[in-house]
Structure 1
Amino acid sequence: MSTLQALILGFIQGLTEFLPVSSSGHLEIGHALLGVHGHDHLLFAMVVHGATVLSTLVVFRKDILALFKGLFQFKWNEETKYVTYLLASSIPIVLLGLFFREQIENLFSGDLFFVGCMLLITASLLAFTYFSKSKGKPIGLPDALIIGIAQALAVMPGISRSGTTIATGLILGKKKDEVARFSFLMVLIPILGANFLDLISGEISSGEQVGFVPLAVGFVAAFLSGLLACSWMINIVKKGKLIYFAAYCLIVGLIAIFAA
């Protein structure tokens, strides 16, 4: 992988991880256009995902600190409840990763037709939010599980994780800013868990052909674009402008289908 390829893919990862357009789908398209085989660069994928986790921690640093302070009071307070909801939301994707990991990895084969079809599903979900109305209720345990199921379905390339979880929360009638916050915080657990499993399982080979410079460039690109996209997305959700991303996913999905 060249430094330029790492820069482009890192930028795509950081930007599309938070915008509701599917980072996995765009990376598959990027791999196809750049001639990079995703299966050959597990280390690079782990590094750029780590960068987006770091950008999330920076943007939500005050919220995360408040959660930890409340959690370590060892009381059943609002912070403990919220952490419980976050953990509950990760159950579906953890189960999927434990029992169907090989099948999931096989989906990342560079099939642009499949990615295009999944992008059309993302477009449909985002379009539904245009007609949803907030009931002003906070997220509860049942909501967390439902949003978690939506996150598990988004393992398929082309289905946006942030788009699916935010759309599900909005369709459930939850507060816009609360849905965005929950969507971005809930992804920390599965990403950190998946990266940890990759490390201890030895699947990341020291012989991978990715040098230090491309890794560093990809990390910085993903981190900076992730910072921008995360902050931007919060305002987009508050203003209810997801319909524009529905149109974008529709167009890109159709292009991917016809280009396959």
Structure 2
Amino acid sequence: MDTLKLVLIGIVQGISEWLPISSKTQVLLTSHFLLGLDIAIAYTFGLFMELGSIGSALIYFRREVRNVFEDRRLLVYLVIVTLITGIIGVPLYIISDKILQNAYNPGIPMIILGIALIIDGIYIRFSRTMTRSFRDLSIKDYLIVGFAQGLAALPGVSRSGMTVSTMLFLGVKPEDAFKYSYLAYIPAALGAVATTVLFSRESIKYVVSNTGTEGIIVAVVAALLTGLIVIDILIRLAKKRNIYIVDFVLGAIAIAISLLVLL
């Protein structure tokens, strides 16, 4: 397997996971065209790449992770958001996995993914309101964030896009919205990896046999290192208001590619 292609896929994961775009979609498209993976297999491969992003978040937010049990509000937030994410996300993941396995023409799901990205962008564009601190959020707000994160189990729906924009919609100041969205990602992503292992074993075996353990490690490390850089940049630039444009552009690209495949 071409090491450069695997590094590129890792970089795509490391960038897209933290932007309000669907990392699953970007890695799916990239691995489908660069590695020739079937859509369903590429979807599993994308979730496999979560390991690198989990590493990025654990390293960047190591202080918060280390002190999570001393911060009762943060602990309650993570527990509630993760539970709701699992309740919503696991069934959606199973359904999505079955749908993608039966999608013989990759152009059809890609059109759906592209439309989902554009909807993400519209949602983010119009979800900014007056700001308040994360500490002002209620249990009800945690439930809403967990529900939004659970919907990201659907292909083409951005986890960070949904959670960040939802928190912005709830009035959380941008820097807190990004930070606490990224912290909520850690347990959710660990759950996603566990779900993938439970329900997509054949796809995992196929990915490992075709890329090799070394190839997967290369992609994961690339995702981890890239993610550290991107998280730092985004936390610093959290108040920027034009990041939603990326969703529109990539959504249009996904639709354009899907049309080419269909033709």
If the TM-score is normalised by the length of the shorter chain, which range does it land in?
Answer: 0.7 to 0.9
Instruction: Please state how far the C-alpha of 1:170 moved relative to its aligned partner.
Output: 0.8
Aligned to 1:92: 84
After TM superposition, the structure 1 = structure 2 runs for residues 89-238 of structure 1, keeping only pairs within 5 Å, are 89-106=81-98, 108=100, 110=106, 111-129=109-127, 131-136=128-133, 138=135, 139-199=137-197, 203=201, 204-205=204-205, 208-237=209-238
**For structure 1, which segment, 145-154 or 131-140, has the greater mean C-alpha deviation from structure 2 after superposition?**
131-140
Q: Deviations over 1:33-74 (max 9, x none)?
A: 322235336875455211110110111011111223x1xxxx
Superposition CA RMSD, Å:
2.4
Aligned to 1:23: 23
For 1:229 and 1:195, the matched residues in 2 are separated by: 22
Q: Structure 2 vs 1, CA of residues 15 and 179 (structure 1 numbering), >3 Å: closer, same or farther?
A: same
For 2:42 and 2:253, the matched residues in 1 are separated by: 26
Aligned pair count reads 247
For 1:39 and 1:135, the matched residues in 2 are separated by: 41
Aligned to 1:82: 74
Aligned to 1:75: none
For the pair 1:13 / 2:5, whether they are aligned, the reply is no
Amino acid at match of 1:88: I
* Identity among equivalent pairs (%): 27
Aligned to 2:62: 61
Amino acid at match of 2:10: G
Aligned to 2:261: none
Structure 1 spans left out of the alignment, 5+ residues: 71-78
2:93–2:154 Cα contact (<8 Å) kept: no
Aligned to 1:48: 49
Q: TM-score, normalised by structure 1?
A: 0.84
For 2:232 and 2:87, the matched residues in 1 are separated by: 30
For 1:185 and 1:48, the matched residues in 2 are separated by: 18
Amino acid at match of 2:219: G
1:13–1:222 Cα contact (<8 Å) kept: yes
Structure 2 spans left out of the alignment, 5+ residues: 259-263
Residue 209 of structure 1 aligns to a residue in which SS?
A: helix
